[in-house]
Amino acid sequence: MVNDFRGSGPNRLGRLTPEERGLLESMVMISPDLLEVLACPVCRKPLVLRGEDSLKCNECKRVYPIRNDIPILLEAEATIEQL
């Protein structure tokens, strides 16, 4: 038996509890493949996922927000993390 959140398996979205549904909807879904190709628009170094709501460049210390599962890679939207 397949347990996934698509089709008609026992765990499809329609059968999740409200708590499970909220948790699933609140999770950031950035695939490892996408994360592998994302780069800081300022210094072109790789970005790493920081928590559930941001991406960080370890080189220039900029932190880019993730809103509605979309990375906002605009310099103007970034904050610089202090050491």
> CB within 8 A of 29, min separation 6: which ones?
69
pLDDT values of the chain reduced to their tens digit, one per residue, 83 residues: 444 444 444 444 456 567 655 554 555 577 888 888 999 999 999 999 998 899 999 999 999 999 988 999 999 999 999 87
- CA angle at residue 54 from 50 to 29, to 5 degrees? 90
Domains of the chain: 1-27 (no CATH), 31-80 (2.20.25.10)
